[in-house]
Chain A
Amino acid sequence: MSMKKNYVIETIRKAQMVQLLASGKRADGRALDQHRELKIETGIIPKANGSARVNLGNSQVIAGVKIATGTPFPDTPDKGILMVNAEILPLSSPYAEPGPPSEEAIELARVVDRGIRESKMVDLGKLNLVSGKSVIAIFVDCNVMNVDGNLFDATSYAVVSALRTAKMKKYVIKDDKAEATDEWIPVPVEKTPVSVTVARIGDALVVDPSAEEEAAMEMRITITTEDGGNVCASQKGEASTISPAQVLQAADLSIKIGKEIRAQIKEATK
């Protein structure tokens, strides 16, 4: 959620921040490659199949998983459905408004969805019930509760944590029909994708930008890695540029920090 509301303040703040960053410091005292404190709680919404509340600094996102059966897409008749959605609630910021999803909210949901999907976190082949007719459909909906920068990563960690702890009904197939049993099984999770967002302010790259830093940033890039340290998704954002060398630098940062955060997510969702 952008806080660029006042051009004079924006310009002064940016100048201050660029100066501070030139001496290797950030406004909140962090190192350039240091993310804010990450807190993950799971199982906070018992009526959901899985849920998580993530605090990344003061950014807070709640993700809830709902699982149902559905009809597969015609081009993938033997694969389940996974959909990630995100809403920036009007209660989350003085700048958020109700109404149809903003361009920002659509980008947020699609970038988070891409990281989860492309990493093949959930084995969709294991969600097939009756080919072409019936599959398990997993919906992950995210509510942004408080905006303080870097919603991409906070939302992604919430989705991954919620999916890792989600339970679904076990189905049996009788006469080509799927029937739910009373048994609960975990969602077939294979990977733990981790997104890391880096902002460029002046020439400096900073990891996990706060809202204050986002107001001054020229460009951000989100890079998602999976367990093997491979890149599985990325998105550059904001109306500015990045040098090719800095793209590779951001990839290396994402691989390095992704490893730490992956361990923390796994610990919190054991």
Chain B
Amino acid sequence: MQVGEGKTKLIDGSGVRRDGRKWDELRPISIQVGLVKNADGSAYIEWGKNKIMAAVYGPKEVHPKHQVLPDRALLRCRYHMAPFSVDERKNPAPSRREIEISKVIREALVPAVIVEDYPRTAIEVWVEVLQSDGGSRVAGITAASLALADAGINMRDLVVGCSCGIINDTVVADLDDTEDKEGSGDMPVAIMPTLGLVSLLQVDGIYTREQFQKAFELAIAKGKQVNAMQKAALNARYFGGEAKTLEVEEGSE
């Protein structure tokens, strides 16, 4: 990612960002569980301009057979961007970026799934980015862990992500597309919020030791905030509760 080095003023003197957010504020988020009828589990998330559907199939038989794991389930994961999800049409074939992101998403989800409960099976997680904005991998993970829960798969915890970073030398939460491209650093983090463990961490951009810690700890705190919305979305799906959106939550504070 090329760094624009402050081409655009991303945050003004009083600490307000282009879209009116303060440094530690999230974009609007809404989550729904169970929209893909054929899937064993699914979740749809809108996070800023991100629109992402995640669906889970399985546990099912493993094909090809040689990939079978004798003591646990094989978790397959594909993160894919629709050709129309970005400004310039994206070639639908998986890019190197998408292959890497599929790998890190899988590695972020596996620790939360009790894979030992399903030996010799496959669990498939498909993450489709219909429209992309900054932070699509963490939004994808947030939806994917809900889809796993919706599929009734045994889990230790949900997984929730948030990305923090640096714009105009200020640590901020939840970068949007422009802030990601023109800012000077992006740090996607995924956590298992109840267990307090980190299951995804990627960093780019230059951070002093203090900025590194501040951004990292901010991402964890914001992840916990999104986790409340995850739980509300499950509650809405199964117990008729009210799904929380971020605007509602912040308005009530």
When chains A and B are docked, how far (Å) is the Cα of A112 from the Cα of B231?
37
> Least Cβ distance of B229 to chain A in Å?
21
Taking a contact as CB atoms under 8 Å apart, the answer to whether A7 and B202 are in contact is no
Contacts of A221 in B (CB 8 A): 201
With A106-B96, A106-B100, A110-B96: A119-B2 Cβ-Cβ less than 8 Å: no
With A103-B99, A241-B111: A233-B204 Cβ-Cβ less than 8 Å: yes
**SS of B interface (majority):** mixed
The reply on B106 being an interface residue by CB < 8 A is yes
With A106-B96, A118-B205, A231-B207: A239-B110 Cβ-Cβ less than 8 Å: yes
> Least Cβ distance of B169 to chain A in Å?
12
Contacts of B102 in A (CB 8 A): 103
> Least Cβ distance of B9 to chain A in Å?
19
Q: Which of B13-21, B131-139, B210-218 contacts A (4 or more CB under 8 A)?
A: B210-218
Contact partner, B2, options A79, A244, A252, Cβ 8 Å? A79
Residues of B in contact with A, size category: 35 or more
The reply on B173 being an interface residue by CB < 8 A is no
Contacts of A28 in B (CB 8 A): none
> Least Cβ distance of A84 to chain B in Å?
12
With A76-B2, A230-B206, A239-B107: A244-B200 Cβ-Cβ less than 8 Å: no
Contact partner, B100, options A75, A110, A231, A247, Cβ 8 Å? A110
Between A and B, 15 residue pairs with Cβ closer than 8 Å are A103-B102, A107-B100, A110-B96, A119-B206, A231-B209, A231-B212, A233-B203, A234-B187, A235-B203, A236-B199, A237-B107, A239-B107, A241-B198, A243-B198, A251-B213
List 4 extra interface pairs beyond A117-B1, A234-B203, A241-B197, CB under 8 A: A226-B206, A232-B207, A238-B107, A248-B216
